[in-house]
Structures are given as structure tokens and as C-alpha cells.
Amino acid sequence: MPPKARGGGKKGPPPPPYTEADVAEFRAVTGCDSDAAAKRSLASTRGNLSEAVLRYLDVHAAVPKPTHGDDKAETVARRQANLHEAKRPRVEAAEGTGADGTASAPFAFDLSGLVGTPRPDEHGWVTSMTQELEAEAETVDATVGWARTIEALEAAADGRRRFEDASFPPDASSIDGGRADKESESVPCCRCGARAKIKSVHKDGPNHGRWFYACGNQPANAWAARAMAAKRVPTPTCGFFKWADDAPSSESSKAMRWRRFEPPRFRLTRGTASGAPKFAPSDVRQGAVGDCWLLSALAVVAERQDLVARVVGPAAKCPAATRRGAFLMRLFLAGRWRGVAVDPCLPVSGRSTKVLAGANKVGARSNDEYALAYSRAADNQLWVPLVEKAYAKSHGSYHAISGGWIAEGLLDLTGCPTETIRLDASGFKSEEAWRKLLSYAAAKFPMGCATQGDPSHREVGLVGNHAYSVMEVRELHGASVGRQTKLTSFVAKERVEDVDAAAGGGGPPLRLLRIRNPWGRKEWSGEWGAGSEVWTSKLGAELGHTRVDDGTFWMSWHDFLCRFTVVDVCKAHEGWHAISVQAVSAENDPAFEVEVAPDRGASSSSSWAYAMSLQPNKRGLCSERFWYADVGIAVYRKGESKTQGPTWTPVTGRLGARERVAQVELMFEVGVTYLVRFFSFTGFKAGPPPILRLYSARPLRVRPMRTPNLIPNLAPALHSMLLPSSSPAPNVQEGTRRGGSSDSDIKRRLLPLCGGALVVCRCRGGAFVLGVSASPRGSPPLRVWLRIRSGRVGGMSALHQHPPPPAPGTVHEGPIPGASLHEIPAGRCRVLALALALSPSDTCSHALEIATEQVCDCRAKLKGIGDRRAGAGDEDEVAVVDLDETETETEEEEEEETDAGEEEKEEEGDDEVEIIGEVKPKPKEDASTLFEELGLPPPPPGATDEAIARMLADALAVAAARGARDERRGEDDSPDDSSDGDVEVVGEVASTASERRQKKRAEELARPATAPPARLAQVFAHLPVPEAFRREVSAMRGSRCSGGAQT
């Protein structure tokens, strides 16, 4: 044997049994998302491409039993798949066989097990049921119709064996909601002679989302308008306007291609070993529609198999549904579960695909005729695009679901209440928020988060104005992180640092969140990103860290606070009960009686619950002239009276805003009857009344109240929300505080008066001005002149004051033009005026101008009392008080006298409240500690230095991020993030439009408040002042009156 050549003893790895062309073909046929998975499949079959495709798709052709040895080649030939045919949906070969050639199982769907909605008993009570049964019961009619359709298709013999959804056809009308049968030449020309552009109304109101024709010379979008204005490019427009309710579809929508996705290549979902459907968050991929808010919600819902199975419905367990292309999806719409039937005919990508703002611009491979234009799922699953199609069908078109909020998607997919945590709110407490997220993650609540339009997000791999999914929240103790700081450290050994006090490092616990981008790509590149140096092998194994760009990444709590602005939580408790009840009428305030349902054979206990008010969604209903009412909720407890009828005591409530959902969280006690009342200051408009939805740990029973005369007065419940019975702060003048309204911030600022105070309460839906007389009985009443006006055009929908100000042109004797005189008896309080906002404000800020002047006899006797000024004849001096929530007032600083004309001013765009009154705002004193400077509460007693440092670091991060966003406010957005299509946002750039806007502003600012309608008369009733609040007002400097019985 010849000796081995030197250096040739070690052989290299053998070449793979496949080529790169095989890998590309495998991915094109199967839709596999990675080369690694394709190579593994090809390697397992030793390069046999056909066998690898069959194994991956789990498709096995029927093999006839060979009769002699020569049939072996024929049998192998029959098993070989034609790869070009595999790219197309397969059709049944013969009657009674499936698409893959095997005998199809006969259709069998048991309809006898379906349950219906609960019926009222002899007393009108309706009892709630579990969430699973509720979704099934409310969609029973749709389920029966869907099952009979499949049964008819299975029995058809004329070749029409596929379900085709005629209510959502595969044409341009399903893409953008326009008229697919109209030509683009039907678009009128503007007065400039150019073809008019189709735009949509962006302002909140009855016309929100409605299309209209505008001048054809206007910029393409809002970004282009700002860019041209910055460059001072003249944009002559003719001001053409016409409603476009019957507008044709765009050319890009008409050119969109549709394909039918059928087995064996495509399937509804993967299955487990037991045959049950399996859903995973990693399946979700966003497409060319900007519905990241919906898909991020769908991804976190897929973490809970019970929630996502409720949405996909019975089709996941019915093979005949996949064969016939008939799928039934369940969505929670308009307060109830709805069954939406769809077919697998979906839009595919191409040159005509229009990518909307916020969408995923990187789609599937262009060489595949079955590359979906919109959402898709991994491994050729269809459950994600079918849920998206059902949602688009429910709202009219795919474009109608572009842009939204995560909380909206979570509600429509689960029917459960949601909570929004604003990370950029004033007074935000990071420790409290972190504890909430930990508890919510432990309860398996679906959560989502969102960013704002910050250009710096691109530098760290994030997307501005984008929704993400919160997949995991972890707090690690004793963890170790890597620190590769120098080249010598890398050559020698990775240096590891201990970051937990329990392990001897003395540091705080490690707080991490796992976030997912619905695009399925583009990850955070900062610390704890995929390529970060802080990962260790032990920590990576524990948290499942990978370097694959699949859109899932980890980031620290500190970075999360700097980059994200909001977290939406879906409080989907396992095993809870739910029920939705329609109000009898909206003419009067709808009211419902609620009790804990008696439990048969067991001792009943109290139940934690949520009471929700749901209104129909405006999305996709732009042609219907309605807008949300400011529906509030008031909850009363029933008591018995020996002399009169039942008494109702306010328990809790929520002030409404003009939005779709309002909710309160409370405890229902056993044996007690509660009254849940809806109220609206703007009034319930024409259309269906709001729906009451109860979500509780134990079964509840409910019935509508049909006797309006027994509904209690609204004023006590309103005062309990506005004026708390106890005070968490020693001085209500300093900062803002919570209280009164469940899950709602009510920000109060007080203006001390002689013998009382003027209280301005701001909430999401508007502002309330209350007069409080803190004097004991027998004292003179509190008399004050008051004028309230809007400080911004379009900011307020209504201003009511009682008594109303004098009519324009009448003789006015008061010290303030256009003011009315209010008188509050001693020891009483009442609402003097209320302002109703057109849109909800997350910061509870509204542009208002409030002018006040007190009338008091003691002013002629006393001079220089505290921060008071003596009156001199008929001359009244006023000053402006800025009620911005970031400012506080102190009592140590002295006032400066200024004239009213010099101090009275207008702010064009600031959302704030101004009071023009006798009290001069005192300059803010220097903060003695950093906590006071940041507006934080003092640290709890016994807090360690590490805990204090962590609180300060989180607060500084939030303040820095908020400051950066304020500096960038108003800057031009990137053209990559803007929509460049046919449907645009309203934007006025012509000088004539600016003149009209200034004229409208002047008219609205001069418009006085009006008298309240008769239905709101009870709101302005006098009520006793809560004792705790009266003591606070009495202790305020300058609030003691020297006239009458008390000095």
C-alpha cells in the first residue's frame, strides 16, 4: 500500500446533495421563509427536490398496489410531483377525492351541540355566560348558515364546488372601497382645469373618513405640502370642493391581481400531534396595508390558544371547509360577536400594489404568482390573511383598516376590556408601571406597544408611528451580562459583570421585555438587541435569544421608556363571564339593573367586574353621518327607604369623551342591586343606542330599566367624580391628582376665592368649572362673575353656562364683558359651566379661556389679605393664571400687579386652560430636590439608594424622550413614511384658506357660552360640599371670608 501523501490525511466536508437552484425552487414552491430550513429538508431527502416538497407540505399521493415487479418505476413516477403544478392550487381529481388524490372524508358537523343566546326570565333578567359559550351563542346563526353552505357544496354535482363570496368580490371595490364599475374619466375637473384629486376628511366629526374632490394642483400629501411651504414654493389652488361619495376606485386598485389559495400547497393552520390546530405569534407577517395595529394585536392573541381559536372558529377543525374554501371567522364588532364568512381568494403583490403608510414595503418574492400583497403567515398558512380579510370585509375594504390603535384591535379580537398606559404622561411612575406589566404578563394578558414618529428611531432599527407586540416581560435576579469593552478583553476572554445585589454585585434586578415587529423583520439594534455584546451563553439559553432577524428582539426597560410611548393591555381573564345588552331606547339616559347571579348549590360571593359602554365603530362608515357621543358611566347602589321609594347612592363612574369605548372597574357584592347608567352631555344622536357589556369573574344578571322616572339624579354622581371625598395630597394646588373617576385622570386646579374656590376639572372629554363655598351655614353666599370661551378653533363642540351670559348687544353691568353672575350658598357647590371637546385628549388638556371676578363685601374692609388686592372703586384688576399641568403654584412668592389688557393673550396651538381672575400666578420656586423638579412624588420611606437611583434614571429617561419629541414636533416627516396614493389627508396650504381659518378663529373666540338644554338642567344643581374637600378649601390661603358670620 503506497504511503499517504503529506498534508492529505484530512479531507474536507462532502459537497451537499443539492444546488442553490434547488434551494430557490424549494422556497418558491413551499413558501419556506429561510434557506436553512430549505437546506435541511433537501438534505433529509439527499437532494430529491420532489420528495422534499412532498414531505414539507405533508402531501402523499395515493399509491396503487403494484401487480408485478415492472410497476415499480410507474409507482415512483406517480409519486414524483410536478414542481410547476405544485405552484398552482390543485383541483379535485374526481368525485369523492380530495385535492391530493386521497379520498375526502364526508362532511360531518354537529349542529346539535350549538347553544343560543340566553333568554330573559319571567322578571326580565338575563344571565351572563362564559366567554367561549358567548362567542358560539352569538354566532350560532352564522355557523348554521356556513355549515349548510359546505354541505350543499359537498353534495353538488354540477361542478360548482367552491365557495365564492359575492359580498366581498375580488375587485377594486374590496381594495379601496370605491366604485369598481366607474371609469377614472368620471372624476370632475377643478376650476383650474386639472383633474380633481380625491382626498379624505381627517378631522374628527360626522364626516371623518369621507371622500371629497379637491383642487388638482394641491400637493400630493401632507408631507409634500409642508416641504413646499418650507421651500416657499407657491401652490396656487382654486379651492374646488365636492363630496366624492360615489368616486371610482383608483387605477392601482383596479390593476390589483387576485388568486385563490387552495390545498395542497396552502392550508388553514398547522396541526399538533393530536390533530388540534396550532397557532403561533411568529406566523404573523404584515403586508402592504398599514394594519400593524391589528396584526400586532393578533400576534399577542395567538399566544393564547383559547383566544385565537375563538376567532378562527370551527373552520380549523373542519377539513371540508378547506376543501371548499369556506371559512367562518368570528370578530367582536358593535358590541357583539359576529360570524364573517370569507373565501381564500386574496390579493397578490405586483407592480400595481400600493403600499400604504406604516405598511411593510418588503413583501414576498416577486417571481411567485402567489406572493400575498397583504398579510401572510409562515409555512403557507392562511389563518392570518383570512382573519385580515374578514376584518376588511366587515369595514368595507382593505384600505379602511389602514391606521388604528392596538387597543381597538385587541377589543375586536377578544371582546375583553383594555387598558392604556401612557409612558409619556405627566406624573408617570415607572415603578408602578413596571409592576403592572409584570402582573399582566403573569396573568397572560395580551399586550401591545407603539412608537411615535421620531426620525431617530431608524438609527436603532425601530419604526416610527408603528405598533409592536409585547411578547414577554421578565425581571431577573442574579443574572450576569457580558461587557466586551476592549480588544484585549476580546482576545483574552469575555469579561462578565454581576448586576444583581443577590449575587454580590449590588446592582438592581435586570428588567427586560421581548418585543415583536409584525413585519417579521427590522429589529432593535441597541443594547440587548440581536447583536448586542451584553448577551452571555447562559442568559441567551434562558431567554431563547437568537441572532435571526425575525422581528423579535429584547430590550431593557430603560430603553423601552425612551423609545415607546404607549402600552395597550387586553384584560382577558381565563374563565370569566360576559354578556352584552342593548339599551331599550336612547331618548333618555339608558340604565340597567345588575346583580350577582345566584349560584345553585353553592355559596355566592362578590364578583370583580368591568362595565363597558360600546358604540358602533365609525371605521368604514364614512358615508354615514354620525360621530361618537361622549358617553359616561355612573354606577349606583340601591338602598331601601321606609318613607319613599328606593334610594340610589353613587359608587363609581367614568366621565365620557367622544370615543367608542368607556369603561369602569368595580366590585359587585352579593345581594345588592346596582344601577349602571349611561349619560351624555352632547346627547345621544340618531342611530343605535350604546350597548352595555359586563365582563366579570362570576355570572351576573342584568335587565334594562324601563321606568325613566326612577332613574336617580345625575348631579350627585357627577360631583363624586369631580370632587373626591378624600385627598391624597396635602395641598391640592400643587400639581394634579387622580380620583373620583375610575381608570380616568381628572386634573384639578383651584383658584382661591374669598370664602371658597373656583375648581377647574379637566378630563379627556372636556372641562368643568365648579364653584365651591367653604363657608359655614349662615355665611353670605359666594358670588362670582364668570366667562368661558374656547381658546382654539374646533377644540370645543359645545360651551354651556348656567345662568348664561347676556346676549350680544344687551347692556352689561358686570366687570367682565360677556360674563354672568353666579351665586353659591354657603357650604354648597355646583357646576357653573362645562366645555365639551370635539375629540378626546389623552393629556386632559383643552384650549379654554376662563375669566372670573369675585363680588364680596369684605373686600372694602380688608386690604392686603394674603394674596388678595383691595378693590378700588369700580376698577377691577385681573391677571392670567396658566393652568398647564407642568406648572405648580407656591405660596411664598409675592404677586405683581398687572393690567388685564396687558395680560390677556391668545395661544394659537397650546392645549391649556387660562383663568383670567384676581389671582396672579406665582413664579415656580426652585426645586429643593430632583424629585420635585421632575414632578415625582417623594420616595417611599426606607427606600434604598439603588431604588432611588433607578427611579430617577427612569424619570430622567422619560423626561429626555419627551423633550426630544417636543423639539422635533412640527418637523417634516420622511417621505418613506407617508402615503403617496389617491386617498389623502385634508391639508390647506393656500393663503385664502389661512385667511378663512383666521376669520373662523376670531368668530369662535368671540362666541359666548350658551344656556344648557333642558335635559342638562339637573347637572347644575346645588349639592353639599364633601367635608374633606371643604377642609382643603378652607385651609387654602386667601379662601376665608371676613364678611358675615365668620372672619
Catalytic sites, residue numbers: 292, 466, 517
Nearest 10 degrees: Cα torsion 255, 256, 259, 260: -120
Check: CB of residue 374 under 8 Å from CB of residue 321: no
Write the Ramachandran bin of 70: left for phi over 0, alpha for psi from -120 to 50, otherwise beta: alpha
Cβ burial, residue 600 (10 Å; 0-12/13-18/19+)? exposed
Q: Tell me the pairing of strands 913-917 and 848-855.
A: parallel
**Closest alpha carbon to 589 in 672, 478, 710:** 710
What letter would DSSP give residue 606?
A: -
Backbone angles phi, psi at 102, to 5 degrees: -85, 160
Check: CB of residue 463 under 8 Å from CB of residue 517: yes
Quote the CA–CA distance of 763 and 747 in Å, as a whole number: 7
| 879 Cβ contact partners less than 8 Å away, ≥ 6 residues apart | 895, 897, 898, 900, 903, 916, 917, 918, 919, 920, 921
Backbone angles phi, psi at 537, to 5 degrees: -65, -40
Write the Ramachandran bin of 29: left for phi over 0, alpha for psi from -120 to 50, otherwise beta: alpha
Check: CB of residue 662 under 8 Å from CB of residue 612: yes
| SS3 category, 799 | strand
| SS3 category, 1027 | helix
**Closest alpha carbon to 1041 in 831, 783, 760:** 783
Check: CB of residue 814 under 8 Å from CB of residue 785: yes
| 1041 Cβ contact partners less than 8 Å away, ≥ 6 residues apart | 754, 755, 756, 775, 779, 780, 856, 858, 1047
Check: CB of residue 423 under 8 Å from CB of residue 379: no
| SS3 category, 277 | strand
Taken in order 595, 601, 606, 608, the sign of the CA dihedral is negative
Write the Ramachandran bin of 604: left for phi over 0, alpha for psi from -120 to 50, otherwise beta: beta
Cβ burial, residue 356 (10 Å; 0-12/13-18/19+)? buried
* 1003, three cell numbers: 368668530
**Closest alpha carbon to 412 in 620, 564, 558:** 620
* 485, three cell numbers: 469593552
Check: CB of residue 405 under 8 Å from CB of residue 346: no
**Closest alpha carbon to 691 in 335, 417, 395, 999:** 335
Check: CB of residue 836 under 8 Å from CB of residue 682: yes
| SS3 category, 135 | helix
Check: CB of residue 841 under 8 Å from CB of residue 858: no
Taken in order 46, 49, 54, 60, the sign of the CA dihedral is negative
**Closest alpha carbon to 868 in 719, 753, 778:** 753
Strand partners of residue 140: none
Cα–chain center distance at 444: 19
CB atoms within 10 A of CB 275: 7
- Residue at 383: amino acid letter: W
Secondary structure element (H or E) that encloses residue 916, with its range: strand 913-917
420528495: which residue's cell? Answer: 51
* 851, three cell numbers: 375669566
